Amino acid sequence: MDKLKILIPKGRIFDNVSRLFAEAGFPVSLTDRTYRPSLGADWLDAKIMKPQNVGELLELGSHDAGFTGIDWIQESGADVEEILDLGFDRVKIVAAVPGGYDEAKLKSKKLAVATEYVNLSETWLKSQGYQYRILRTYGATEVFPPDDADMIIDNTSSGQTLRDNGLKIIGTLLESSTRFVVSRSALADKEKRSRIEELAMLFRAVLDGRDRVMLEMNIPKEQFGSLASLPAMRSPTVAELYGDAGYAVKIAVKKHEVPDIIPKLKKLGALDIVEYDLRKVVL
């Protein structure tokens, strides 16, 4: 089988995707000044590209799978298949103007709009009834107003950079996160499709593992009935303790549930409660 060609984005997405591969069992090795990382498997061939280019390169068929924000997929209009929303690098694509601008008067003039998202911006500006001229930017879009643009359309995670530059958000175009996407030609190849599905399964296992912890405890026999309905992914794992002293019980639960569950377990008679992280959970 030909190698599965993977595009990994440079910039802010790279660290999260690298960690995902490493936790899935494919450690990423990247030397300085190279765009060809090793993924620790002879059937994987990786290349680093800008996230803006990933979707179009997959559609062209020069690569099989990759990672990028859904914002760049929609901006490019690339015809690719989304396999998994990884939930990384959540941002909003927003329209912002200088804080002193009267929003009601924005539609009375032709606006200069600075953005990297030309196509998304065109669609939104038309839908809102604005007159405009697009100024394409290549990073640092927030520095354009008020001298060189009336409005920007850009991505933001918290909005702090916009506020620091005296801008206020007046609209949200899209909410985005990093996605695992693949080319349609790769999906049409039986062996490549199988490899893609294996990767997706491992990625899901890592993400599910990050979201859960294992709780182990000992339960005396006389308290076991009150703890019979313990939360778990399917059902608790139960084993008898040596000397007929009760039961050893394991449950996998969501991390956010732990502060509520542990006090309840203690009140119901559970002893020696131990919590530990999980690396992968294959459901």
Which residues, 6 or more positions from 113, have their beta carbon under 8 angstroms from its beta carbon? 121, 125, 130, 132, 133, 134, 135, 149, 150, 151, 152, 153
Domains of the chain: 4-87+177-209 (3.40.190.10), 91-176 (3.40.190.10), 212-277 (3.30.70.120)
| Structure confidence at residue 23 (pLDDT) | 94
Strand arrangement, sheet containing 271-277: 237-240, 247-254, 212-219, 271-277
Per residue in 218-235, pLDDT tens? Answer: 988 887 777 666 776 677
Task: Tell me what pLDDT residue 233 has.
Answer: 63
Over pLDDT 70: what percentage of the chain?
97
The reported pLDDT for the residue numbered 115 is 97
Single-letter residue type at 27: P
Q: How far is 111 from 188, CA to CA, in rounded Å?
A: 45
- pLDDT for the residue 228: 63
- In this predicted structure, the answer to whether residue 1 has a pLDDT above a threshold of 70 is no
The per-residue DSSP string of 6-32 comes to EEEE-THHHHHHHHHHHHHT---B--T
Question: What is the C-alpha separation between 17 and 65, in angstroms, rounded?
Answer: 13
**Parallel, antiparallel, or unpaired: how do β-strands 247-254 and 81-85 relate?**
unpaired
Q: Residue 82: is its pLDDT beyond 90? A: yes
What confidence tens digit (pLDDT) does each residue in 125-146 have?
A: 999 999 999 999 998 899 999 9
Q: Which of 18-22, 28-32, 164-168, 201-205 has the lowest mean pLDDT?
A: 28-32
CA distance 214 to 232: 9
